[in-house]
Amino acid sequence: MQYRPLGSSGLRISEVSLGSWLTFGNAVDEGKSVACVRRAHELGINFYDTADVYADGEAERVLGRALSAFPRDSFVVGTKCFFPRVRDRARRGLGRTHVLASVDESLGNLGLDAIDLMQCHRFDPETPLEETVQAMGDAMAAGKVRHWGVSRWTAAQMAEASAIASSLGVPAPVSHQPPYNALNRSAEEEFAATAALGVGIVVYSPLAQGVLTGKYAEGVPSGSRGANAGTRDGMWDLKPAQIVRSARFRGVAQGLGIEAAALALAWCLRRPEVTSTIVGASRPEQLDANIRASGLKYGDDVWAAVDSALAATEEG
């Protein structure tokens, strides 16, 4: 496993990270989740991503119990706040009260003394940005949070937050989490501006929710997120044109003699601005295939072949 610096934080995290959305505390039982975390740790994965809203807090609790078996300095945990919880729909956003309450609740769920990376799950247009930045600064000053970051913000919003942090004398955000994969490259438009702020980029959905790996090549498998009415609407890549492109992508991977998942992750990591790629896992062996992407280098000819395979045509 290779590691990259996370923006200006001083942290170095693994090129492949383990996430817990839709798996821990939900579709995957705790025994299998713990097995995935143990295997991830063995493989050198040191960044684990979750959120207070995943499985209404159970994902954090499962992850915390799994990580408790390892030395504290051997892993980095990132969680998030913004969305309302099932039992308290009125509490949401990035106001000071919600942010600080979320920090305390996540600490309890994870069983940690400090959260390595607290992330704003979305931008909150209803709360003054100064209030959010100050709340994060206060959580850090209290020793409850070590660094903070954001998810799905624009570069302009991150720049404004950084400027406010400077004026308030508190730390600025050090990470951004956008969706990014070979089928959806729009995040690239702001990579340079994000990196210029000293913000590291940790991408989610690098496998296009399984579309790039061929999971949906023969239809929608029973029990998959594509078969679940509650999650299918969020699967923006589960479309006929994307299925066609993903098949051509897998053809390139086959020609190179590697798994499509490894090529998809390496494709993301070819960009120096990308610090890490977040993957999910329901079985430990899935991680063995994913980590082969770390350190995988190809020349421009291979990436040109990928671009050609993904180019839109009349049939896809």
Active site residues: 54
Question: What secondary structure letter does DSSP report for 204?
Answer: B
Q: How far apart are CA 18 and CA 198, in angstroms?
A: 23
CB contact at 8 A, 227 and 259: no
Using CA atoms, how far residue 254 sits from 251, 257, 260, in Å, is 5, 5, 7
Q: How far apart are CA 90 and CA 307, in angstroms?
A: 45
Dihedral over alpha carbons 95, 98, 103, 105 (to 10 degrees): 180
- Alpha-helix runs per DSSP H in the chain: 30-42, 58-67, 96-110, 129-141, 155-168, 191-196, 229-232, 240-256, 260-269, 284-290, 300-310
Note whether 11 and 116 are within 8 A (CB). yes
Residue with tokens 């913004």: 82
Write the burial class of residue 159 (CB in 10 Å: 0-12 exposed, 13-18 middle, 19+ buried): middle
Around Cβ 95, how many Cβ atoms within 10 Å? 17
